[in-house]
Amino acid sequence: MTDDLDDQNADRVGRFRAGAAARGLPAAEVEAWIRATVPGVYFTDGGDGPPVVTTGGHPALPEDAPDPEHPLVVSVDCGLLPPGGAGFPLPRDGRLLFFADPDLGFRGRLGGAVRHVPAGTPVAERRVETAYGPFAARELRRMWHHLAGPDAETWAEARWEDPDDERYELAEELESAWTEAGGSWPVWSFALGGHPVVLHDDPLLVARDDDPEHAGDWVPLATWRCPREAESLDGGVVTWLIRRTDLTAGRFERVYGYVDM
């Protein structure tokens, strides 16, 4: 499942410190960037072993489960995930099913967008008509985990109250140094944890703005880069977010969905 890509992450922080120092970047900001990194697990085509992630197709659901409102995007075999790889607790067995409509209307709190089916639960394939899908079924066997750096603009605005052009440029330099220290990674299709992919607005900030009382509790649960067959979203990204308290309690019906393109 995993390969020598994981070895690239072993001393990434050390390489980043050295590379940032060579660029003359301030040590205090280098350490602030490191504190903002978070772990994530990433998946793409290729590799061998059992498929940890299957995309598309029809969902396998318990008989009494309600019909999904959205097409199946991803099915994750929780028993094959690296413990703690995503940086937060996930079910240790069974499958996590992620559903989404790949259009800009898929936003906000969406009760049926993520479901956990425990191991041993009798299930049957459910064919449901939705506006999209079913998407082509693909098996993602290549998996690796590493620390993800933040989006440069989001980091700058969190670091300074009103960053000027010089501080935005510093954030971009830090992002460049972090990428250089990590080497070349494959283009992934699906991720658990990590930082959100920011195209226009940061999905995490959108969820926090929608729930300011619990702003610090929200985390990115998963991210899907839409495939070519999602014609309505050219280069679109779907993000599922959840509060840590709900994640720990297994309340996946409380996720927040966000689509950007």
pLDDT string in tens for the chain (261-residue length): 444 444 456 688 999 999 999 999 999 999 999 999 999 999 998 888 889 999 999 999 999 999 999 999 999 999 999 888 899 999 999 999 999 987 878 899 998 999 999 999 999 999 887 777 788 889 999 998 889 999 999 999 999 999 999 999 999 999 999 999 987 778 899 999 999 999 999 999 999 999 999 999 999 999 999 876 565 656 789 999 999 999 999 999 999 999 998
pTM, rounded to two decimals:
0.91
For residue 62, the SS3 value is coil
DSSP labels, 180-215:
HHH---PPPSEEEESPPP-SSS-HHHHHHHH-GGGG
Cβ(41)–Cβ(192) under 8 Å? yes
Alpha carbons 206 and 227: distance in angstroms, whole number: 24
Alpha carbons 153 and 168: distance in angstroms, whole number: 6
Alpha carbons 42 and 103: distance in angstroms, whole number: 23
